[in-house]
A and B are shown apart, each in its own frame.
Chain A
Amino acid sequence: MHRALETPKELAWHAANAALASSQLKLKQIDCVVLGTAPDAFDGVHMKSEYLADGCGGWGKPFLRCYVGGGTGVYAVAQACFQIASGMFDTALVVCEEKMSSCQPHPQAAFLTIFDPITEQPLKPNLLWIFALEQTRYMETYGITIEEIARVAVKNKRNALNHPAAQLAAELTVEDVLGSEIMAWPVHRLMVSPTSDGAAAIVIAAEEVARRVSDKPIWIQGIGWSLDSAYWTNRDLAYPEYVEKAAWMAYDMAGVKEPRKEIHFAEPYDPFAYKELHHLEGLQLAPKGQAPRLLADGVFERDGDLPVTPSGGLLGVGNPIAAAGMMKICELFWQMRGEAGKRQLPGKPERGVAQAWGDLMQVGTVVVMGTERPD
């Protein structure tokens, strides 16, 4: 949602404070702070990490900001995870913050500056166009219909009805989605996540600390990330190979051999409706081109065989870029702790995967979490 009254620092503070309260640790017990936040152009603050440092609690501490565009929210957890696994730190506070509303009249203008200044910017592209290209390629390659894509928006916006921070929760039908304006064919307005302000944070700890302070720690079992070529025009956009690479890196670490059987629920990145399906395929949770059929069969519903985006995702809750990825990590945590309230999945899920995506349709970041300590 738009939090016009809060400065970026204050948003970061709210999230950091809530995470510390949930972990029952004090800031002085935190060894290092990791920040994730997307382009500086939104806030118009140069060296945004330094500006946000004290809001995140990174004062008088090792502090750094990691950055992989839209993939940052999930990647930040991977960053903090290897920082702790290195033995250098025992505890880390990971904060993701985004304030898009200060970019007036619309943050889309800031996105013009992400394109190659020589070959692409003169064409004045925007994100809707390039994602429309990718969606078209995806639909064309596998013979997917627009109705099948629209179902994602219906599901996620409905799931978001139970999320206390949701910005665009709604009870809609496929007809409603297809009746909304066409932004750039085949992308309809209700298939696009909104721009948002928000922040989310978690605390992670080494095993000894985790066992001491919590009787219900959720374990990070695997982390993976992968960045593809900047020349997106030269790649086949029908299938996200970089997500597959990132997923296998995380699954191998987690000891997951058959993701479809061993992953109980998923929070893939869904800034556009088709992206959820696209990413489920990259995550090896659906065969190539088959995710839309599984969705139509109800497999991805909250009471389905493989619940997907029970939080409501970016389409329903909102898309404060880096914070949106972290919101997905938070959802895995709540679901496996049994603290998801009305969104709680049936059957005590024991392992989930969160994924984020970004840059020029280019980066996949994956975190596998579970109730069991990894080997």
Chain B
Amino acid sequence: MSERVAIIGIGFVPLQPATPRHSFKEMVFEAAQIAYADAGISFEEIDSFVTCAEDFNEGISIFDEYTPDQLGCRQKPMHTLTQDGLHGIADALMQIRAGVADIVVVEAHSKASNIITPDWLLDYALDPVYNRPLGFNPHALAALEMNRFMDQTGISASQCAEVVVKNRLNARDNPLAAYPLKTNRRTVDSSPYLCYPLHEEELAKYADGCVVIVVANEATAKKVVNQPVWILGAGFANDSPTIESRCWGYAEYARLAARSAFRQAGIKSVDEIDFFEVDDSYAYKELQHLIALGLYDEPVEAGRAVESGETRCDGKTPVNVSGGALGMGLPLEAHGLYRVVELVLQVRGQAGERQLSRAKIGVAQSWRGVPTTSGALVIVGSEAPRG
């Protein structure tokens, strides 16, 4: 674990509800050009590439066929993970620490607007033998879980709605966000139920976009950029995929991923972390994930914290300053990488109007959505990890 690894370049396109004028290849090309320029490297210097993508989301089987050209990795090591972008960052970290590569590029994108019936597609993620024949919309799993979560923690539906208000408001200062909005709790509470107790407004809407991140070992990072953003730790984990036997109400996958990443980073207490970008693809998920990360002594405090403004930009522990998935949009596998983009911009002091006064160590956490229990977590910091 002696090898220190840093993010040396980021490239991204703004999230949009639809991108009819661009193919995914064009978006990837654009983000890659920006990332390579940001890192001050040419594509020829890159050793290995990772794309995070799912066949069904792309509408193409064996999607990794279409990954190399626009990234500039013809006849180079390149592989796909059918995971979130944060798994890709963990993958890059492991390749570099193993000495397989010095510079690794991680790419993930979303062309969600091409999916005409996203909820039907999600049906195909249900167990084909035991669950799919029951004919329910997978969002119902989130609603069931939210019910269980509120019952177990004592957090109220209104407190969950506060997450929407906060994140969509935060998104107003983020030029990359697709869904900024000044809204209030009553508007969220009065939006129709998607599945009780989950309101329509509490569901992050899909968006199109692409992020490319350049990760490098210490020697390269120090040589090519002035301000490397160090990866202090990365973790990923699954809970049970079977809905009959999983841990409802508690995000066990997030706890496991955090435990591993915190250990690598040598972080003893979450107080050492300045700000968080966690998955909020359903409003209650932000609270559930913060609880799993160990922010509160009692779960119920998560609800009070969002209500009291503790997790706002100007609060004690800012959460989803970027606007999160609720404010920025949900870009499929690129979800986690947009969280990383925010970490890097904040740590570098390039976050513009939403720049936090204290942003030395940040955490990005992702979840792959219903019906999965798969998540990853990455910690970055402005200072290189201690030996």
A contact set with B: CB distance below 8 Å: 7, 38-41, 43-54, 58-69, 75, 79, 81-88, 110-111, 113-114, 116-117, 223-231, 241-242, 245-246, 249, 358-360, 362-363
Known contacts A46-B125, A53-B241, A249-B77; A38 and B62 CB within 8 A of each other: yes
B331 → A minimal CB distance (Å): 16
Tell whether, in the assembled complex, residue A117 and residue B122 are in contact, meaning their CB atoms are under 8 Å apart: no
B367 → A minimal CB distance (Å): 11
Find B61's partner among A40, A51, A60, A225 (CB 8 Å cutoff): A40
Known contacts A46-B56, A50-B125, A50-B368; A69 and B65 CB within 8 A of each other: yes
Tell whether, in the assembled complex, residue A86 and residue B260 are in contact, meaning their CB atoms are under 8 Å apart: no
Q: Which residues of A sit under 8 angstroms from B49, Cβ to Cβ?
A: 227
Q: Which residues of B sit under 8 angstroms from A86, Cβ to Cβ?
A: 1, 93-98
Tell whether, in the assembled complex, residue A62 and residue B77 are in contact, meaning their CB atoms are under 8 Å apart: no
Known contacts A48-B82, A224-B77; A39 and B61 CB within 8 A of each other: yes
Tell whether, in the assembled complex, residue A229 and residue B69 are in contact, meaning their CB atoms are under 8 Å apart: yes
Tell whether, in the assembled complex, residue A47 and residue B125 are in contact, meaning their CB atoms are under 8 Å apart: yes
Most buried by A among B73, B98, B122: B98
Find B79's partner among A39, A44, A79, A84 (CB 8 Å cutoff): A79
Report the Cα distance A48→B81, complex, angstroms.
Answer: 12
4 tightest A-B CB contacts, nearest first: A85-B98, A46-B124, A86-B97, A86-B94
B104 → A minimal CB distance (Å): 11
Q: Which residues of B sit under 8 angstroms from A223, Cβ to Cβ?
A: 100
Most buried by A among B77, B95, B260: B77
Q: Is B173 an interface residue (CB 8 A)?
A: no
Interface residues of chain A: helix, strand, loop or mixed (majority): mixed
Most buried by A among B56, B371, B373: B56
Tell whether, in the assembled complex, residue A88 and residue B76 are in contact, meaning their CB atoms are under 8 Å apart: no
A to B contact number (C-beta, < 8 Å):
194
A357 → B minimal CB distance (Å): 12
Tell whether, in the assembled complex, residue A227 and residue B76 are in contact, meaning their CB atoms are under 8 Å apart: yes
Contacts A39-B61, A61-B256, A230-B67 given; 15 further ones with Cβ under 8 A? A7-B129, A45-B124, A47-B82, A47-B125, A54-B242, A60-B239, A69-B65, A86-B1, A86-B96, A88-B260, A226-B76, A226-B78, A227-B76, A230-B69, A241-B75
Q: Is B136 an interface residue (CB 8 A)?
A: no
Q: Which residues of B sit under 8 angstroms from A38, Cβ to Cβ?
A: 62
- Enumerate 28 A-B pairs (CB-CB under 8 Å) in ascending A order: A45-B125, A45-B128, A47-B54, A49-B374, A50-B241, A59-B238, A59-B240, A60-B237, A62-B238, A62-B257, A63-B237, A64-B83, A65-B81, A67-B62, A67-B82, A69-B62, A75-B79, A82-B95, A83-B94, A85-B97, A85-B100, A88-B94, A117-B59, A225-B78, A227-B78, A227-B79, A229-B68, A230-B69
Q: Which residues of A sit under 8 angstroms from B54, Cβ to Cβ?
A: 40, 46-47
Report the Cα distance A54→B239, complex, angstroms.
Answer: 9
Q: Which residues of A sit under 8 angstroms from B91, Cβ to Cβ?
A: 64, 79
A140 → B minimal CB distance (Å): 23
Q: Which residues of B sit under 8 angstroms from A228, Cβ to Cβ?
A: 68, 74-75
Most buried by A among B62, B64, B264: B62
Tell whether, in the assembled complex, residue B65 and residue A362 are in contact, meaning their CB atoms are under 8 Å apart: yes
Q: Which residues of B sit under 8 angstroms from A360, Cβ to Cβ?
A: 65
Q: Which residues of A sit under 8 angstroms from B257, Cβ to Cβ?
A: 62
Tell whether, in the assembled complex, residue B64 and residue A50 are in contact, meaning their CB atoms are under 8 Å apart: no
Tell whether, in the assembled complex, residue B237 and residue A61 are in contact, meaning their CB atoms are under 8 Å apart: yes
Known contacts A38-B62, A46-B54, A82-B98; A64 and B77 CB within 8 A of each other: no
Tell whether, in the assembled complex, residue B374 and residue A63 are in contact, meaning their CB atoms are under 8 Å apart: yes
Q: Is B87 an interface residue (CB 8 A)?
A: yes
B contact set with A: CB distance below 8 Å: 1, 49, 54-56, 59-62, 64-69, 73-83, 87, 91, 93-100, 121-125, 127-129, 235-242, 252, 256-257, 260, 264, 368, 371-374
* CB closest residue in chain A, given B130: A7
Report the Cα distance A201→B368, complex, angstroms.
Answer: 25
B102 → A minimal CB distance (Å): 13
Q: Which residues of B sit under 8 angstroms from A67, Cβ to Cβ?
A: 62, 64, 79-82
Q: Which residues of B sit under 8 angstroms from A241, Cβ to Cβ?
A: 75
B215 → A minimal CB distance (Å): 13
Tell whether, in the assembled complex, residue A358 and residue B237 are in contact, meaning their CB atoms are under 8 Å apart: no
Tell whether, in the assembled complex, residue A51 and residue B125 are in contact, meaning their CB atoms are under 8 Å apart: yes
Tell whether, in the assembled complex, residue A82 and residue B100 are in contact, meaning their CB atoms are under 8 Å apart: yes
Find A113's partner among B61, B83, B97 (CB 8 Å cutoff): B61
Tell whether, in the assembled complex, residue A359 and residue B65 are in contact, meaning their CB atoms are under 8 Å apart: yes
Q: Which residues of A sit under 8 angstroms from B97, Cβ to Cβ?
A: 85-88
Q: Which residues of A sit under 8 angstroms from B99, Cβ to Cβ?
A: 85
Find A46's partner among B60, B61, B80, B121 (CB 8 Å cutoff): B121
* CB closest residue in chain B, given A59: B240
Q: Which residues of A sit under 8 angstroms from B123, Cβ to Cβ?
A: 46
Tell whether, in the assembled complex, residue B128 and residue A44 are in contact, meaning their CB atoms are under 8 Å apart: yes
Q: Which residues of A sit under 8 angstroms from B96, Cβ to Cβ?
A: 86
Report the Cα distance A9→B81, complex, angstroms.
Answer: 19
Most buried by B among A44, A50, A61, A225: A50
A361 → B minimal CB distance (Å): 10
Tell whether, in the assembled complex, residue A51 and residue B81 are in contact, meaning their CB atoms are under 8 Å apart: no
Report the Cα distance A85→B64, complex, angstroms.
Answer: 25
Q: Which residues of B sit under 8 angstroms from A362, Cβ to Cβ?
A: 65
Find B82's partner among A49, A59, A88 (CB 8 Å cutoff): A49
* CB closest residue in chain B, given A44: B124
Tell whether, in the assembled complex, residue B238 and residue A63 are in contact, meaning their CB atoms are under 8 Å apart: yes
Q: Which residues of B sit under 8 angstroms from A81, Cβ to Cβ?
A: 98
Report the Cα distance A49→B238, complex, angstroms.
Answer: 11
* CB closest residue in chain B, given A39: B61
Report the Cα distance A88→B65, complex, angstroms.
Answer: 29
Report the Cα distance A114→B236, complex, angstroms.
Answer: 29
Report the Cα distance A249→B48, complex, angstroms.
Answer: 12
Report the Cα distance A58→B241, complex, angstroms.
Answer: 9
Tell whether, in the assembled complex, residue A68 and residue B80 are in contact, meaning their CB atoms are under 8 Å apart: yes
B310 → A minimal CB distance (Å): 31
Tell whether, in the assembled complex, residue B235 and residue A62 are in contact, meaning their CB atoms are under 8 Å apart: yes
B43 → A minimal CB distance (Å): 13
Most buried by B among A43, A49, A117, A249: A49
Report the Cα distance A167→B44, complex, angstroms.
Answer: 44
A312 → B minimal CB distance (Å): 25
Q: Which residues of A sit under 8 angstroms from B240, Cβ to Cβ?
A: 53-54, 59-60
Known contacts A65-B82, A224-B77, A226-B77; A54 and B62 CB within 8 A of each other: no
Q: Which residues of A sit under 8 angstroms from B127, Cβ to Cβ?
A: 51
Tell whether, in the assembled complex, residue A358 and residue B62 are in contact, meaning their CB atoms are under 8 Å apart: yes
